[in-house]
Amino acid sequence: MFANYLIGLREGLEAALVVSILVAYLVKTGNRHRLPPIWGGVAVAVALSLAFGAILEFTSAEMTFEQQELFGGSLSIAAVGLVTWMVFWMRRTARHLKAELQGKLDAALAMGTGALMVTAFLSVGREGLETALFVWTAVRSADQGSDPLIGVALGIVSAVVLAYFFYKGAVRINLAKFFVWTGGVLIVVAAGVLAYGVHDLQEADFLPGLHNRAFDISDTVDPTSWYGTLLKGIFNFQPDPTVLQCVVWIAYLVPVMAVFLLRQPKGRERPAVVGRENQANSALPQ
């Protein structure tokens, strides 16, 4: 549940901060009457994300076992690629997100209501589709009933609450550091999802080595125990992984984590500053 909570929190906070910036800017510039298109674009983006998740679930249900494994494994690898890009992108652009969005919003205001809706839709829709794909693969690999979905829902709710306090100017947090810590944990989670995706492709006979085990500690680590469930849910830990799974896990985790931790974004990091409600815009990432 924790890994999926983190996914919901991280992705949800990105989307919620985007909405907070758009809303705060319109209110501050005297365009409160232009808010309905923003909320309309957000609603369409959320509906599209839910529909995308439903399509993934229903499509896989109609497939044979081998097709399901090939489909799930391929999407797991795609999800890892997306979340890796997202982690690096957010760390690089978090401090400049406000200026970038405000520039797009100024152009949309000049173009009219439809442009405002499209701006909100595109700003939130990307995070929504990424979340749907990564959550679907994480839930599928975790195989823990409804717990992963509950974790995601709690993470999204937490993100919305945090974004609201940002808007109201009631929270002080260094967003750069926040995205570094959560990004590091998500890279570990993504490594587990990637290894599980490789296992799916092996079960689909797309990749070799299904029965070539790197080790087997099933007798020591019971996958049905509380700690086995915890390791499986957070890290996608498998007590009897294949050699290829271990190779892929290491080949992804070590270089990606090293680059993420050692590569510092240019410019001075500025923590999110909070103030009174009429200074809500300053509570958002600079």
Tens of pLDDT, residue by residue over 166-212, are 777 666 666 677 778 878 888 888 898 899 889 999 999 999 999 99
Q: How many CB atoms lie within 10 A of CB 39?
A: 14
Q: Does 80 reside within a domain? A: yes
Q: Does 133 reside within a domain? A: yes
CA–CA distance, 184 with 230 (Å, rounded to integer): 18
Q: Does 113 reside within a domain? A: yes
3-class secondary-structure state, position 56: helix
Q: Does 208 reside within a domain? A: no
Please indicate, yes or no, whether the overall pTM of this predicted structure exceeds 0.85.
no
Residues 6+ away with beta carbon under 8 Å from 113: 34, 37
Q: Does 171 reside within a domain? A: yes
Q: Does 202 reside within a domain? A: no
Q: Is the pLDDT of residue 96 over 80?
A: no
pLDDT given at position 285: 41
Number of domains in the chain: 1
Quick one: angle between helices 113-142 and 97-111, nearest 10? Answer: 130
Q: Does 246 reside within a domain? A: no
Q: Does 249 reside within a domain? A: no
Domain that holds residue 9: 2-182+267-283
CA–CA distance, 154 with 12 (Å, rounded to integer): 10
